[in-house]
Amino acid sequence: MILSLKNYSTPFSEERKFMLPFLELIAHPDAYQRTHLPGHITGSAWILNAAKTKTLLVHHAKLNKWVQPGGHADGDENILAVALREAEEETGVKNFTIEETLFDIDIHTIPARKDFPEHQHYDIRFGFTANEISPVTVSDESHDVKWISLDQLGDYTQERSVLRMKEKLQRTL
């Protein structure tokens, strides 16, 4: 993963500022453990339908907002496998076409909970495609799972990193 991050480029200055902190973090032997503080590596899936007009998001129960499926590496340095596991667990969808190159990176704050302090998620994101007629299931980590038209994405979230992924997609179409 270090080589992929070193070679990663983006036209988004907000994302470029994450590069050095990511490279510093992944040099730490415990970077992939959720107990590593003040932050640790997570993996996410930016899931689109085949027409690239909708994204599959989860309404995260703890964060109470719409975001892409993703989660902790828990020691697994294969972040693509982490993103796939989380996408399957959080949406119920099993058949994805996967882009094996990085799609996006982000560092965001996770608020403190009674059992864990505020910390940072160093999120590595991959592009996935799925059939939008595949049945979805809501896991216990979410309030809902929904295909959302990219034209209506702003009605569901104002999370800059989610909106940035939409902007990235639109630049490639």
Q: Which two tokens stand for residue 60?
A: 């995260």
**pLDDT at residue 1 is higher than 90:** no
Sketch the domain layout of the chain as residue ranges: 2-172
Q: Tell whether domain 2-172 is in CATH 3.40.1110.10.
A: no
pLDDT tens profile 12-65: 999 999 999 999 999 999 999 999 999 999 999 999 999 999 999 999 998 999
pLDDT over 90 percentage in the chain: 90
pLDDT tens profile 126-142: 999 999 999 999 999 99
pLDDT of residue 2: 61
Judged by phi (left if over 0) then psi (alpha if -120 to 50, else beta), residue 115 lies in alpha
pTM equals: 0.95
In angstroms, what CA-CA distances link 40 with 15, 130, 138?
Answer: 17, 28, 26
